[in-house]
Amino acid sequence: MGLTGHAFRLNIDPKVVHAAGPTSFPGGYILRRNLANLGFISNLADAEVPVSPELAERTLALIQQTIDRGTPAIAFDLFIPEFGLIYGYDDERQLFHAKDVSQDGTIPYGQFVQSRIGVLFAVTISESLPHSKYEMLRMALDMIVDHARSREWNHIFHGQFAIGLAGYDAWIDVMRRREADPFGNCFNVEVAADARVFAAEFLRRLTVQWNGANFVERTVRERAAEAMAHYGVVAEAFRGLEALFPYPRGGTPQDPESADRAIALLTEARAAEERGIEALERLLDFMKAYYSEIWVH
């Protein structure tokens, strides 16, 4: 969650805080960058349906190859419109074995390649890359900061969602208008709350797993500790939001008292997250400058 940047994501629908927000991002682009951060080269199938028989066959072959190597494929809209994994196949019966948050079952090849969402989507891992932990962290910080500052490439959903720190502003605005969808709001609270717990834990681990043996390691520990304190505040604010809007019942986000309390908590979370991002920006700038100097010399 930390190295992929997902612990730091916020993707908010500015109209009603729709439940589609957390998964409405350019999946192929983001997931391939995620996998690169973790040290893997990946392949992407991301084509509008109906796809040609040749492309369908190549996509099925890529999925089978990664499964044969012992690694599942990442896909979208297996049983419901969410991300999931394809972990097995049966050529005789022309079926994939797959799992998402709703169920673990089988999907006919034909159903998979003619996706209901209009896009045939699958990401497979092809091989690994020898990244150092320094490079993995630098790449992760690059993604985290770009997302927080709304610089992330997002042509597919351009103008439809507010991301990063701007997501807080959009969320607060919906609460002020008393127009939050109860289910969408509590789902976004649950996703963001879970993510920020991982963010704080990821930063905590940086403070103990980087051993301080050199200047870079000591700087990572110092900046991570600074950011961790701020993300602890963010996580605590989201615990308050979870109490207000429990998943899946949703609470009453359009009630003035609940909405005003939510605005206060979101404002607190945004301020703390901005301070956390500023600490991570300083760490990213340090790592870029340090390694640029190494390459120059």
Is residue 45 in some structural domain?
Answer: yes
Q: Do 110 and 136 reside in the same domain of the chain?
A: no
47: containing domain: 40-128
Question: What pLDDT, on the 0 to 100 scale, is given for residue 294?
Answer: 60
Letter string b/e over residues 38-59, b meaning 16 or more CB atoms within 10 A of that residue's CB: bbbebbbbbbeeebeeeebeeb
Residue type, 92: E
The list of the chain residues with pLDDT below 50 reads none
Give the separation between CA 150 and CA 144, rounded to whole angstroms: 10
Q: Which residues contact 31 (CB under 8 A, 6 or more apart)?
A: 42, 44, 74, 123
Q: Residue 101 has what pLDDT? A: 92
Q: How many helices (H) and strands (E) does the chain have?
A: 8, 8
Q: Are residues 61 and 180 in the same domain?
A: no
Q: Are residues 197 and 222 in the same domain?
A: yes
Q: Cβ distance 178 to 252 under 8 Å?
A: no
Closest C-alpha among 137, 286, 271 to residue 203:
137
The answer on 155 and 279 residing in a single domain is: yes
Same domain, 151 and 231: yes
Within 10 angstroms of residue 217's Cβ, the number of other Cβ atoms is 16
CATH of the domain at 68: 3.90.70.50
- Considering the domain architecture, whether residues 170 and 112 belong to the same structural domain is answered as no
My answer on whether 117 and 191 are in the same domain is no
Tell me how far apart the alpha carbons of residues 203 and 226 are, in angstroms, rounded to a whole number: 9
Provide the greatest CA pair distance for the chain.
Answer: 61
Q: Which uninterrupted H or E stretch holds 97?
A: strand 95-99
Residues 144 and 203 occupy one common structural domain: yes
pLDDT of 155 reads: 78
Q: By the 8 A CB rule, do 2 and 203 touch? A: yes
Residue 156: what pLDDT?
79
Q: Final residue of a domain: which of 128, 147, 180?
A: 128
Give the count of domains, the chain.
2
Residue 17: CB atoms within 10 Å: 27
Q: 99, 128, 157: which is the final residue of a domain?
A: 128
Same-domain pairing of 145 and 178 = yes
| Beta carbons within 8 Å of 159's beta carbon, 6+ residues apart | none
Q: Which residues contact 73 (CB under 8 A, 6 or more apart)?
A: 62, 63, 66, 67, 85, 86, 122, 123, 124
- Name the 3-class secondary structure at 124: strand
